[in-house]
Amino acid sequence: MVADAPRYKRILLKLSGEAGVGGEGFGIDPKTLGAVAEEIAQVAKAGIEICVVVGGGNIFRGAALAEAGMERASADYMGMLATVMNALALQASLEKIGVFTRVQSAIPMEAVCERYIRRRALRHLEKGRVVIFAAGVGAPFFTTDSGAALRAAEMGCQALFKGTSVDGVYTADPKTDASATRYERLSYHDVLAKNLKVMDASAVSLMRENHIPIVVFNIRERGNLMTVLKGEGVFTTIDDSTTDT
């Protein structure tokens, strides 16, 4: 393998809803979302098969409303619909710059996107299309982290990349604790044992069962997705290894 060649041929990119948020802190900012689309486009145009799961927290948080008293299942379904809105917005941003995409939803809504069908999604990836998965797993009580882990396993992805606003996993929140240090590598077990909140426990467990590494990196740094794909830059890898601080 060429030294600077990407390490993986098929990946899933997990984005929070906030990845497309600008200075307002909510909604969708076309400029911010466009920057994320450029990151994905660079990878897709390099011949790497990429699928995406995007959250809906910039529009609606089902868990927060459930805590405020709404019935949990209804709140979660509303959150799933928010992810469909984000998926369609990301699709529009990608197609604006010449990237062929498909949105597949776990909740059937054929008027705006495809129903999730595993074999069809695989075929889209093989044809070089970016597949954006929406509506989580299509059922309440599951997070979009769980949806991302499930789709990564179903699609046979070689890694799950989690794009965040920080450059890896830290011992504490680096935005509030100046003494926080970043892990270069973690085991799935240690993420669960230390309760590091990288992804929810069911998602981490599913990645462990399928031996799919989780790569946590800063999606807001331009060109960083491709850089990390090549094994360069700053990031944290979570796999079957032992913890390395």
Closest Cα partner for 167 from 149, 148, 181?
A: 181
Q: How many CB atoms lie within 10 A of CB 95?
A: 13
Rounded to whole angstroms, how far apart are CA atoms 207 and 57?
23
Domains and CATH numbers, the chain: 10-239 (3.40.1160.10)
What is the rounded average pLDDT of the residues 24-46?
A: 91
Give me the pLDDT at residue 66, please. Answer: 77
Instruction: Grade residue 157 by pLDDT with cuts at 50, 70 and 90.
Output: very high
Give me the pLDDT at residue 23, please. Answer: 59
What is this structure's pTM?
A: 0.93
Say whether pLDDT at 243 is over 70: no
17-26, 48-57, 187-196, range with the lowest pLDDT: 17-26
Q: What is the mean pLDDT of the chain?
A: 92
**What is the token pair recorded at 183?**
């892990």
Buried b (16+ CB within 10 A) or exposed e, 133-167: bbbbbbebebbbbbbbbbbbbbbebbbbbbbbebb
Say whether pLDDT at 152 is over 80: yes
Reduced to 3 states, what is the DSSP secondary structure of residue 26? coil
Give me the pLDDT at residue 242, please. Answer: 62
Q: Which residues 6+ apart lie within 8 Å of 81 measured at CB? A: 56, 60, 107, 135
Say whether pLDDT at 26 is over 80: no
